[in-house]
């Protein structure tokens, strides 16, 4: 099922048993060689700080620290960056894994389309890990993978926000490529570019939601209702601090930037604790200048 119908989607989702791994078994990342603020990306990413000066050494230090923190939880593979692809530090928008496939996204901007052409990353996942290639760049719809599609892997359901970075054709292509049981399509609020800035599903049992990031307020209300007492709702200021751009990499370990963690209030922290989660906060002030945060830096290997 792929639909905009809230009632139909959640009725179907309610019978989707959590019968698959909720979290990745390893992650991949791309180091920030050539890291800078890409002008093309800034045209539809209001979180970018184009007036800021970027210090390459700081970006590398933050990225190494992030790798080290995640390695305490599960294995990390890090590919070298490339000065021709300044946004490559956010690989989850371009590459995604299922147990069977390597999925390549159809990126909106040419500066990001170059990332999908990297032969070394393709060959690692297809030849070394034996995944079959699903290249969505060859179909007409724009779809920036787990930037646009937030997935509850345990249930096989997806939440796909439509924007300049993902259209309905692209959403349908991702639904098929990820092999999802059901996908809910909805419009993001004006000015939002990726769903994973306004929504995260944590280990299939909790949701972090910024209602202001959705065009129709009924959508975040329905998502919060589905996850019940484990749905944490963010203010606009917390969304701007990337609190929605978090990720669970085990049943108890949630990773987010130090800026995002500092924005959470005591009640929200208590909800996460009551849900059995431990927060790992990593300083990323330089990397966040490029308009993404911790979740965007992490590609998941299933």
Mean pLDDT of the chain: 94
pLDDT surpassing 90 at residue 159: yes
Compute the distance between CA of residue 258 and CA of residue 263 in angstroms, rounded to an integer.
Answer: 9
Phi, psi of 300 (to 5 degrees): -100, 140
**Long-range Cβ contact pairs of 168-173 (< 8 A, separation 24 or more):** 168/141, 169/139, 169/140, 169/141, 169/142, 170/106, 170/136, 170/139, 170/141, 170/142, 170/143, 171/2, 171/141, 171/143, 172/2, 172/141, 173/106, 173/136, 173/139, 173/141, 173/143
The pTM of this model reads 0.94
Summarize the confidence of residues 137-147 as an average pLDDT.
97
List, in order, residues 6 or more apart from 215 with CB less than 8 Å away. 186, 187, 188, 189, 190
What pLDDT, on the 0 to 100 scale, is given for residue 44?
A: 63
**How many C-beta atoms lie closer than 10 Å to residue 7's C-beta?**
9
Compute the distance between CA of residue 64 and CA of residue 126 in angstroms, rounded to an integer.
Answer: 26
3-state DSSP assignment of residue 106: strand
Q: What percent of the chain has pLDDT over 90?
A: 86
3-state DSSP assignment of residue 222: helix
pLDDT tens, 188-222?
999 999 999 999 999 999 999 999 999 999 999 99
pLDDT tens, 49-100?
656 677 889 999 999 999 999 999 999 999 999 888 878 999 999 999 999 9
Domain ranges of the chain: 2-301
What pLDDT, on the 0 to 100 scale, is given for residue 137?
A: 95
What pLDDT, on the 0 to 100 scale, is given for residue 83?
A: 81
Compute the distance between CA of residue 109 and CA of residue 81 in angstroms, rounded to an integer.
Answer: 18
pLDDT tens, 115-132?
999 999 999 999 999 999
Q: Exposed, middle or buried, 172 (CB in 10 Å: 0-12/13-18/19+)? A: middle
Element (H, E) at 171: helix 168-177
What pLDDT, on the 0 to 100 scale, is given for residue 43?
A: 60
pLDDT surpassing 60 at residue 38: no
What pLDDT, on the 0 to 100 scale, is given for residue 45?
A: 62
Closest CA to 272 of 226, 175, 203: 203
Compute the distance between CA of residue 189 and CA of residue 197 in angstroms, rounded to an integer.
Answer: 12
What pLDDT, on the 0 to 100 scale, is given for residue 92?
A: 97
Report which of residues 43 and 242 the model is more confident about: 242
What pLDDT, on the 0 to 100 scale, is given for residue 33?
A: 86
Helix pair angle (6-13, 218-227), 10° resolution: 10
3-state DSSP assignment of residue 221: helix
2-301 under CATH 3.75.10.10, yes or no: yes
């Amino acid at each position: 099922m792929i639909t905009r119908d809230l009632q139909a989607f959640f009725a179907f989702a309610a019978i989707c048993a959590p019968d698959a791994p909720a979290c990745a078994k390893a992650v991949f990342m791309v180091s920030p060689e050539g890291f800078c603020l890409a002008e093309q990306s800034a045209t539809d990413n209001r979180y970018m700080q184009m007036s800021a000066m970027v210090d390459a050494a700081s970006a590398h230090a933050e990225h190494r620290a992030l790798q080290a923190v995640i390695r305490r939880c599960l294995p990390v593979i890090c590919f070298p960056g490339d000065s021709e692809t300044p946004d490559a530090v956010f690989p989850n928008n371009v590459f995604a894994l299922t147990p069977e496939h390597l999925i390549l996204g159809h990126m909106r901007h040419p500066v990001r389309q170059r990332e999908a052409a990297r032969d070394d990353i393709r060959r690692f996942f297809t030849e070394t890990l034996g995944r079959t290639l699903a290249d969505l760049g060859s179909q007409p719809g724009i779809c920036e993978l787990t930037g646009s599609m937030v997935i509850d892997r345990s249930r096989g359901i997806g939440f796909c926000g439509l924007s300049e970075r993902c259209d309905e054709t692209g959403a349908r292509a991702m639904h098929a490529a990820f092999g999802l049981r059901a996908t809910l399509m909805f419009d993001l609020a004006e000015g939002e570019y990726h769903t994973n800035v306004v929504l995260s599903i944590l280990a299939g049992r909790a949701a972090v939601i910024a209602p202001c990031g959705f065009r129709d307020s009924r959508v975040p209300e329905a998502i919060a209702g589905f996850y019940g007492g484990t749905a944490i709702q963010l203010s606009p200021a917390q969304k701007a601090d990337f609190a929605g751009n978090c990720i669970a990499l085990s049943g108890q370990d949630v990773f987010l930037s130090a800026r995002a963690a500092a924005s959470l209030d005591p009640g929200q922290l208590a909800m996460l604790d009551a849900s059995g989660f431990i927060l790992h906060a990593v300083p990323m002030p330089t990397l966040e200048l490029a308009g993404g945060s911790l979740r965007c830096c992490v590609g998941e290997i299933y």
